Amino acid sequence: MPYQLVTIIVTLASHLLVLVYYLIRMAGMLQDGELVESQVFILWAIVIGATIVITIVSIILTTILLSIVRAVKTGTVEEDHFIVDERDKLIDLKGERVSYVAFSFGVFLSMLAFVLDQPPLVMFSLLILAGILGGISGNISKLYYYRRGA
């Protein structure tokens, strides 16, 4: 399995974990009655930090684990060559485009919520959600393009 495909799958899994955590915490806050600024700010910091840390750590651990498995299978230790060709660059650009479109749509919805007299915390919470969903949609599209062979 190519390195780029492994990276996409691991990143997608980490984003999905963070999304589930975010939705559970937000649902709990909304169920309690209202959004409290201090709790929402702490949640935003946790979500942004966790997204960065979990993604980086999981990619590093997966790369190490796959290198060990490959070395055990083949019986030789060879360096991984992370070659990026034109197809990989094109798939990456297509995925980024999908990610930006999804995020832009989320920004539009969050601004619409603000215009419709929702509190500013709702708008900013929707912005964080749009960022996570934009990353997920971009990774799904990259995975689709790799599987399709585009």
Per-residue pLDDT for 62 more than 70?
A: yes
Q: For position 58, what pLDDT does the model report? A: 93
Work out the average pLDDT over 117-145: 93
Using the predicted structure, report yes or no on whether residue 140 has a pLDDT greater than 90: yes
Task: Tell which wins on pLDDT, 54 or 83.
Answer: 54
What is residue 70's predicted lDDT score, i.e. its pLDDT? 82
DSSP per residue over the chain, as a string? --HHHHHHHHHHHHHHHHHHHHHHHHHHHHHHSS--HHHHHHHHHHHHHHHHHHHHHHHHHHHHHHHHHHHHHHSS---------HHHHHHHHHHHHHHHHHHHHHHHHHHHHHHTT--HHHHHHHHHHHHHHHHHHHHHHHHHHHHHT-
> Which pLDDT belongs to residue 143?
93
Q: Round the average pLDDT of the chain to a whole number and report it.
A: 89
pLDDT tens-digit series, residues 85-100? 898 899 999 999 999 9
Assess whether pLDDT exceeds 70 at residue 1: no
pLDDT at 57 over 70: yes
